[in-house]
Structure formats: structure tokens, C-alpha cells
Structure 1
């Protein structure tokens, strides 16, 4: 029996199907800013705008899926990219990327709140 912990909550103790993994990848790439910009593209170019916007993002999603499979093979215990960075590059680089991740989330939140 697995202990209840944050790591267990991330991936259900390692018992996650391929379909759920695919859903997770799509939901992580669908930020509020992406949905907002998709609406902007729709208002400018009509119904085909969001379609082509999503088609362009498909390449990124497919590449990210391949990278995530390789990370799962090479770093099976890591649940976040920050854990991978800490294991590979050390604590100093980990702290730098924590700041970058926080700054990215602040920028996305500000963009979503201002509608830009």
C-alpha cells in the first residue's frame, strides 16, 4: 500500500494510463493565456483562426510528449521539471529556474487579468 503523499497524488502511485497521460499533457499546455489568445485570433480571422492556432500548437504538444516519455525513462522519480533540473544541474540552477517559473506564472496571470 502506498503512503499518502504529494508524490502519490501527482501520478496515482505510477498507475497512470496512456490516455490519462495524454489528457494531462493537453491540459497543461492549455493555459488561460492560450485560450484568451485563441479567442483573439477568432475575432480577427474568423472560425479558421483558432483551428490554425491549435494546429501550430500540435507540434509542440507532440514534441513535449516525446520528451516527457524520455524523462520518465531517465528520471523515473521526478514529477516536475524543477525536480529534473535539481537532480541534473544542482541546487543553484534549481533556484534560478524556480525564479523563472514564478516569473512566467506571474506574467501569464497578468496577461490573463488584463486581457492581452
Structure 2
């Protein structure tokens, strides 16, 4: 579960009450169980693979491996981008910082986001 899903769940829980996280967890439990079963099946079919890319290379060959490298890179770019956007919205909501400044400063590091006064309160 990525940070943006957690933030949305917390925001909607605040808005609509405790029933939402119960439904959220019941929906996620199926995904967690499915991924555990898929991991077991993958380990049985290719026992010496440690990552999904090794699994693809050993099972389907070099061409599929290159395609999955590209797909994994695209997925990581979109995933990191959505996490930065969610984090920037959180920083904007907590500190009142301009959203564009938060987008730029989050990849630079967390200490540059908080002012001295906020940092003393957090410590």
C-alpha cells in the first residue's frame, strides 16, 4: 500500500467515519493474499530467482526481460511521482507552504520543508 492510498483512506475516514477503513482493509486483504499465493507459485516455478525481473528472464527469455525492465521503470516513475504529489499535498495541508515549493523540496530532502519553528515543535 503506497502513501497516497494511506492518505486518501485517512482523509475519507475523517470525512465519512470508521466504516471506510473496514471496507478498505477487507478489499486490500484479498490483494495481499493473492500476491502471497503468486509469490509461492513463482518461487516453485523458478526456484533460483530473487526478483520479478530475474523470474521473467529465467522463465520467458531475454526479450521479455527487456520489456519488463522498461515497464518496471515506467511503473517506478509513476509510483514515485504519485508519492511525491501526495507528500506535497500533506506538507501543504500541515504547514501552509505553497504546493509548487513542496513539489520541488520533497525530493531535495525533508529538513528543507519545515521551518525552524515547526522543526522545534516536531522534536
TM-score normalised by length of structure 2: 0.61
RMSD value, Cα:
1.8
CA distances 1:29-74 after superposition (whole Å, capped 9, x unpaired): x322332332243244322212211210111111111111112222
- Confirm whether residue 48 of structure 1 aligns to residue 24 of structure 2: no
Q: Computing the radius of gyration over CA atoms, which structure comes out larger, 1 or 2?
A: 2
Aligned counterpart in structure 2 of residue 89 of structure 1, from 60, 74, 84: 60
The structure with higher relative contact order (CA 8 Å, sep 6+) is: 1
Alignment match, 1:17? none
TM-score normalised by length of structure 1: 0.65
Q: Which stretches of structure 1, 4 residues or more, deviate above 4 A after TM superposition?
A: none
Alignment match, 2:8? 37
Displacement of 1:90 in angstroms is 1.1
